[in-house]
A = this chain, B = another copy of it.
Amino acid sequence: MSHDFVKKSLTRRGVLKGAASGAGAAVLGAGAARAQGPDPLITEKQDWATGLGDGVDATPYGLPIKYEDDVVRRNVPWLTADPISSINFTPIHALDGTITPQGCAFERHHSGAIELKKEDYRLMINGLVDTPLVFSYADLERFPRENRVYFCECAANTGMEWAGAQLNGAQFTHGMIHNMEYTGIPLRTLLEEAGLAAAGDLKDKWVYVEGADASSNGRSIPMDKALDDVLVAFKANGEALRKEHGYPVRLVVPGWEGNMWVKWLRRIEVTEAAVESREETSKYTDTLADGTSRKWTWVMDAKSVVTSPSPQSPIRHGKGPLVITGLAWSGRGAITRVDVSKDGGKTWETARLAQEGQNKALTRFYLDTTWDGEDMLLQSRAMDETGYVQPTKHQLREVRGENSVYHNNCIQTWHVKPNGEAENVEVS
């Protein structure tokens, strides 16, 4: 092994420029390496298989390999597991792409996850409809379906951060979000099946939706949203919803706060007015500086976060080539641009979007850059198709005060240190 070769290869195209610590080690040329036996680096490090591996009988349904056992939605002792109010966070610091596997997609329950058989499942549509109906699961399977990828974000995502930098990890500051491909029936189809003539002018009507769990988690949805893009969904990422995601049927309310995505959906009532349930009065409203509350704050505004590097995903290599990556999303439509700052918002570079932004779905962004090994104050700033720009925490506090829990979509800052470790910090 020639260190000159290593250095030469690392500087060749500048891609790995300066990254002498192990980024792409040159070998002595194919012929040489093969004539002289395996490269030392390989024999030393790599335990190539010399016998048979495992067959397939152990994996009728597979799980991640044991080496990834820290990539889970529950990995710290302080998370509450009390069924009265329980939460697990998506390990977004360790994921890439946009799809969230169901197995590590965040879960939040208001009275625990319940077990409901398809055979026992019923969905009632009642209230101001021509013919109240009760659907079995088998009934639902007979209606035309749609497939759409949407993000689901808890209104309380990033809620702890209002008061300052609290939680040290993107999973905990921003992990109450997931992004899945849903298969379901437009709610419009089922409402029209029951008939809406009885509701008269639909403009000011509402639907009240509730789940079969003990909390019922009832929420009021304005009729125009109900008739727009809401889905009565039974599959996520191709397979049945998981128990903790509302098996067998949940509501999908694209772009709106996760609490409205009622799980174990049992009833949809067409109403004259909003019900003003607990979940939309004492909870899921935003207390302003003067003590009054904003209500009907359904839409999740444009937001983004750098997922790596981040406190749970430090830089383990030295200076040189670095991939900065993260997620962006907007409840108002597609993400059109994401900027990244390394200096706490003084200067910005436009990131590369892995795919064109999709309506109300996660967008993955990358900044392929070079790290000089110095401190960085990493931030990302999302823009959506309405022209909305993700605000700083300062801008958000000016409007909303510091009493809020919900709807914190401010720019997040990670302080990346010369040793590669990152910390949640606040910049003024």
Contact = CB atoms under 8 A, between A and B. Distances in A.
Interface string A185-214: 000010011110000000000000000111
Contact of A111 (B52, B100, B129): B52
A55 B83 contact: yes
A50 to B, nearest CB: 6
Given A61-B104, A71-B240, 12 more contacts: A23-B138, A30-B132, A50-B214, A53-B115, A56-B73, A71-B239, A95-B239, A99-B238, A101-B239, A104-B239, A138-B316, A144-B352
A39 to B, nearest CB: 6
8 smallest CB-CB distances across A and B, nearest first, come from A53-B112, A30-B126, A57-B81, A60-B72, A53-B114, A60-B74, A147-B354, A96-B183
Interface in A114-157: 114-118, 120-122, 124, 126-136, 138-139, 141-147
A59 B22 CA distance: 37
A28 interface: yes
B24 A135 contact: yes
A8 interface: yes
Contact of A317 (B84, B138, B212): B138
A126 B34 CA distance: 10
Given A53-B113, A57-B81, A133-B27, A355 B147 contact: yes
A102 B132 contact: no
A41 B126 CA distance: 14
A126 B27 contact: yes
Interface in A80-107: 81-84, 86-88, 94-105, 107
16 contacts: A9-B194, A23-B135, A25-B134, A42-B124, A47-B116, A49-B213, A53-B115, A53-B214, A54-B243, A54-B244, A59-B73, A62-B103, A65-B115, A65-B247, A101-B102, A142-B317
A142 B71 CA distance: 20
A109 interface: yes
Interface stretch (A254-262, A320-328, A329-337): A320-328
Contacts of A53: 83, 109, 111-115, 213-214
A143 B323 contact: yes
Contacts of A114: 49, 53-54
A266 interface: yes
A45 interface: yes
A290 interface: no
A64 interface: yes
A244 B58 CA distance: 11
Interface stretch (A11-19, A276-284, A392-400): A11-19
A425 interface: no
Contacts of A73: 56, 59-62
